[in-house]
Structure 1
């Protein structure tokens, strides 16, 4: 069985109210006891003066009748004999029966106490000091007393304190209800927005409050997660779109060649058909491999490590065989953080592109500038017009003239290179150059 309510707002309000009642209740009990003790002590101090003055007068025979009263009847004094008869009293106490039947013994001659009579709401309580004048068996007893205030007798003090506890507890609950409501308001807005976001529209974001508190951080984290989800779904859709678009032509050509060879085997060279089919299959395999790589980039599936760009570039250049002249300018100690296989693929794609379109020289440079690592690959070819410098990074984009489909490749190399750069927090751009093309990769330095 669930004890606490499901709502955080209701639960916090209930807890605040209970804690307020406990704390304020304990405080109220302390206040009640303190008020009673203080009032009783003040009254007792006053009646002790009157009782001891009258007791002294009894012992030395100087007490006059009636007993003088300078309090206006507020403090009453009686001198009572052993038989319970009132022998003397202040004017206000004259004619009254003895205030108390308690008779101090000869060993404990002074007694201070509170005595009550009657039933609520007419109950009366008095603070009494009883003094046995002497130790003689027939000694008289002097009683001095003063009534307790009615608010201590009737329970009014407790009622007021209890009402105060309930009012302050209700105020604490009201404040908690509104504060928690305002605090959780952004959470409700975030929940409502998340409930409306569907796979068909991932562009929406949850409201993001200002500040650096937990709710603001939650909203930022939720939006960052939605960003990653949108990119992942976008990659998935792009993959499906690219695959359906780019694979259709080679598959159709492969099928047409095979059907023609099957229907007219006497008119076809079997070896030529097989060679053509293998070329189409190789192209299909390259396209699928590149599309899968594009889909995986930035997903966090690969482990990162510290990479010296100069060492990586030198190793990749030494591994390859170039038909052109290669110039290198590799500065040491240029370290970045990333996935080695992806950065090697990025450099390989840039080298493939440069070698494909260079006239005779390919240059590779590694250095650091303005807190970033720079890896540049330059060719001395025909160059790329300014208007096309961004378009070449689009998938399956090939420019006219020298940079044509006939030059080979799947049309995904530069798109893959830029995706890898972005996944590593960097940029890949084509920089201005008088002759040829210069691809510049900038990544954050790792220290």
Structure 2
């Protein structure tokens, strides 16, 4: 069985990339530098040898040629031959050597430059041959010098390649060290994240100073950890609250059943009380299931809903416990799940009737790009500290009174989940115009308008 290969770390990959890039750049650069240097040095020698040969030719034409010929600007190998090839004069350095070159310039050509090497390819001489006069019986001036070590040494190119390899290795090592230093905050973040578990969700990663990518990564990680910690705390609190809320009717059912067994004459009353607790237990479980299903509703399940008509239907089908004043704007259409939106309206009406003293007011309006639903009651104002907490699951400002009047503690939580799932918002505010009270405000985006029909599509 083939085991999957472990991919190298980012640090190693960056070091390999730096090494490869340096090798691709430095090795060809070493070869190019070697070629350019050789050409530049050879061109310089030939230029100087040409100057020296020209100077000697001028001396010949003026009859001032001396023997031995003194070196000219570093050109120490100078030789003058007659038309028959006999050496007329030469420099001191050229005397121990054989003929500098058997080369003779071609007819009609005054200058020839060449390289003369030993049979083994070493000890090369760079020579310029200059014809003193245009005729075929002209003297020839040979001027040159031995190749300098940079051109004659056989290890010049390997030395440059070795230097390129050493620089490549240095580039890779430097990239490895620099990357390790740069990634040190990431390793610290990774180590701290590895220590965070469900038993210790409050940990935070260290934030490097500055405002670079790693600092922003640490800040984003801490923000995510804060949200995760808050979510875990909410889940734990929700589990505790749900357990308590579920145990209460279960304990009531058990107590009623035990009472019926001990006192058979009270069986009917005990069964009725157990049924009430069963209904409450069923309502809590149904609300919990609804809360779990709200985020999973697909977009394709939504439809256009006339919010005005839905509110009218919900208000008309309710039993008249308190007077309800309805101010409705027809034709306010939103896109959503009808039964969920109906549940939101029902929950808000239940909450308003539960806390109102004498009156409930409902109003539907349409703004430029949103549908707005107001549900108002004339009950006691909600303290500022509780205006966000009332949307939490199982939160009650008056737990005993709420349970006595049949609430599950999930109505407003369901309303907020549904509204936010539809892209809207819900808030509570005090009423400042007229009689005091509390007003819940729901804002939902309007459904996209249908494109206008073309003139050819209308029927008379």
TM-score, scaled to structure 2: 0.74
Does structure 1 conserve the Cα–Cα contact (< 8 Å) formed by 2:323 and 2:359?
yes
Question: Is 1:349 aligned with 2:356?
Answer: no
Paired residue for 1:379, among 342, 367, 377?
377
Tell me, in whole angstroms, the C-alpha distance in 1 between the residues paired with 2:36 and 2:206. Answer: 53
Q: How far is 1:245 from its partner? A: 1.0
Partner SS, residue 247 of structure 1: helix
Q: Unaligned regions of 5+ residues in structure 2, if any?
A: 449-460
- Tell me how far 1:311 sits from its aligned partner: 3.9
Task: Name which of structure 1's ranges 80-89 and 310-319 shifts more when overlaid on structure 2.
Answer: 80-89
Work out which of the residue numbers 299, 315, 319 in structure 1 matches 2:314: 319
User: CA contact under 8 A between 2:382 and 2:438: conserved in structure 1?
Assistant: no
Report what 2:89 is aligned to.
88
In 1: Cα distance, 2:4 partner to 2:88 partner: 72
**For the structure 1 residues 404 and 23, does the alpha-carbon distance in structure 2 shift closer, same or farther, using more than 3 Å as the test?**
closer
Q: Aligned with 1:233: secondary structure?
A: helix
Q: Which shows bigger deviation, 360-369 or 211-220?
A: 211-220
CA gap 1:426/1:317 in 2 versus in 1, 3 angstroms: same
Cα distance, 1:108 vs. partner? 8.2
Q: How does 1:105-254 map to 2 (within 5 A)?
A: 111-117=112-118, 124-130=123-129, 142-154=141-153, 158=157, 161-162=160-161, 165-166=164-165, 168-169=167-168, 172-207=171-206, 215=214, 218-219=217-218, 222-223=221-222, 225-227=224-226, 229-254=228-253
Q: Give the superposition deviation at 1:195.
A: 0.5
Please list, as runs of the form range in 1=range in 2, the aligned pairs for 1:252-291 lying within 5 A after superposition: 252-262=251-261, 265=264, 267-270=265-268, 272-291=269-288
The Cα of 1:24 is off from its aligned counterpart by 2.0
Other structure's SS at 1:428 match: strand
Query: Greater shift after overlay, 156-165 or 253-262?
Result: 156-165
| Cα separation, 1, equivalents of 2:220 and 2:337 | 24
Contact 2:377 2:438 in 1 (8 A): yes
Shift of the 333–44 alpha-carbon distance from structure 1 to 2, 3 Å rule, reads farther
Q: What is the alpha-carbon distance in structure 2 between the residues aligned to residue 162 and residue 261 of structure 1?
A: 100
Distance 1:159 1:146 in 2: 25
Check whether the contact 1:308–1:334 (CA below 8 A) recurs between aligned residues: no
Q: CA deviation at 1:27?
A: 2.0
Distance 2:212 2:222 in 1: 16
- Identify which range, 18-27 or 207-216, moves more after superposition: 207-216
2:19 aligns to what SS in structure 1? Answer: helix
Q: CA deviation digits over 1:177-218, x for unaligned, max 9? A: 344234423321221121011011223333456888765665
- Cα 1:293–1:314 change in 2 (3 A) is same
Give the length in aligned residue pairs: 438
2:101 counterpart SS class? coil
- TM-score normalised by L of structure 1: 0.76
1:301 counterpart residue number:
296
- What is the rounded CA distance, in whole Å, between the counterparts of 2:155 and 2:243 in structure 1? 87
> Residues 134 and 221 (structure 1 numbering): CA distance in 2 closer, same or farther, change over 3 Å?
same
**Alpha-carbon distance between aligned partners in 2 of 1:333 and 1:37, rounded to the nearest angstrom:** 89
* Residues in 1 aligned to 2:174 and 2:329: alpha-carbon distance in whole angstroms: 64
Q: Secondary structure of the equivalent of 2:88?
A: strand
Return the offset for 1:392: 4.8
- Separation in 1 of the partners of 2:37 and 2:183? 42
Is 1:20 paired with 2:22?
Answer: yes
Q: Is the 8 A contact 2:46 2:126 kept in 1?
A: yes
Distance 1:49 1:400 in 2: 112
Q: Deviations over 1:369-403 (max 9, x none)?
A: 999875431113x42463884465552525289x5
Structure 2 CA distance for partners of 1:311 and 1:233, relative to 1, 3 Å: same
Q: CA deviation at 1:139?
A: 8.4
Q: 1:42-96, CA deviations, whole angstroms, 9 ceiling, x for partnerless residues?
A: 22123234446667988x8968453754726624321347997533223543454
